[in-house]
Amino acid sequence: MTAPLPDFLLEPLVRAALTEDLSPMGDVTTRAVVPAGTRYAARLNAREAGVVSGMQIAALAFRLVDPALSVETCVTDGSPIAPGDTLMRIEGDAASILMGERVALNFAGRLSGIATLTSAFVAETRGTRTRITCTRKTTPGLRVVEKMAVAHGGGSNHRFGLSDAILIKDNHVAAAGGIRAVLEAAKAARSHMMRVELEVDRLDQLEEALEVGGADVILLDNMDTPTLRRAVALAGGRVVLEASGNMQLSRISEVAATGVDYISSGALTHSARTLDLGLDF
């Protein structure tokens, strides 16, 4: 299982979501209709099968609303869940539970959807060495938790942002004057801790990149399956190969069978359906 992040890294995200939901006057409905001091026990339940993610951040939402709430997490992020499973128990002031409900469910449903979709992608690679990885196509401001959800689904994380690695895309190649020029520049600029990835969309570009050297990873962009097979044979294990470009679930099995090391897909984060979870009193 993926180790949880420190709560202090997640607090700004949760505080922003709670502020968005409760500003400027708090929960006027609850204040109007629920008598002060009412206590209740609630359960966060799964309404469909999937892989859970976001329990840590959901629990944090309730605790930030009211530190006196008793919050018991019943499943670990990354665990499979079935309809009817209780994921969390919350007990204490009813108004506090109701104030944190939507933010907790928004995070947990969204992140569980990403983990569930990632798990489906990973299942299509069984029997191969290929690993599934995400991209930077994440919801602005939520990258850290969405990438964590990918890990909960059994996937790998690509670079977090623009400062993690040198990833040379087609526009960089065009601006720098070609593959040789861009790789030579990257080799001169990189530190001993910085990896270099080069995007290519033709086999002749792959050949040139292998000849020049300097790339740790080569991203094979928008290649059909026969071309991916030829690329794997051409590389001969000399570099890590990543296949990308419109990588939908229906294609993952055949792409993994080509022998690429990684398949990256933006769909993991930008197209995942929210998993149906509910809070029951």
* Of 54, 16, 9, the residue nearest 274 (C-alpha): 54
Mark whether 187 is an active-site residue. Answer: no
Mark whether 251 is an active-site residue. Answer: no
129 is in an annotated binding site: no
159 is in an annotated binding site: yes
- Of the residues 169, 180, 187, 229, only one is catalytic, namely 169
> Residue 222 region, left (φ>0) first, then alpha (ψ -120 to 50), else beta?
left
- Of the residues 15, 102, 190, 229, only one is catalytic, namely 102
- Of the residues 93, 124, 197, 221, only one is catalytic, namely 221
102 is in an annotated binding site: yes
116 is in an annotated binding site: no
187 is in an annotated binding site: no
C-alpha 268/C-alpha 146 separation (Å) is: 9
Contacts of 207 (CB under 8 A, 6+ apart): 234
What value, to the nearest 5°, has the Cα angle with vertex 144 and ends 44 and 21? Answer: 50
Contact 112, 75 (CB under 8 A): no
250 is in an annotated binding site: no
Mark whether 197 is an active-site residue. Answer: no
197 is in an annotated binding site: no
Mark whether 280 is an active-site residue. Answer: no
DSSP-assigned letters across all residues of 12-34: HHHHHHHHHHHTTT--HHHHHHS
Mark whether 224 is an active-site residue. Answer: no
267 is in an annotated binding site: yes
Q: In what order do the strands lie in the sheet with 277-280?
A: 70-73, 86-93, 39-46, 277-280
266 is in an annotated binding site: yes
169 is in an annotated binding site: yes
> Where in the sequence numbering do the catalytic residues fall?
102, 137, 169, 199, 221
Binding positions are 102, 135-137, 159, 169, 199, 221, 244-246, 265-267
Binding positions for substrate are 102, 135-137, 159, 169, 199, 221, 244-246, 265-267
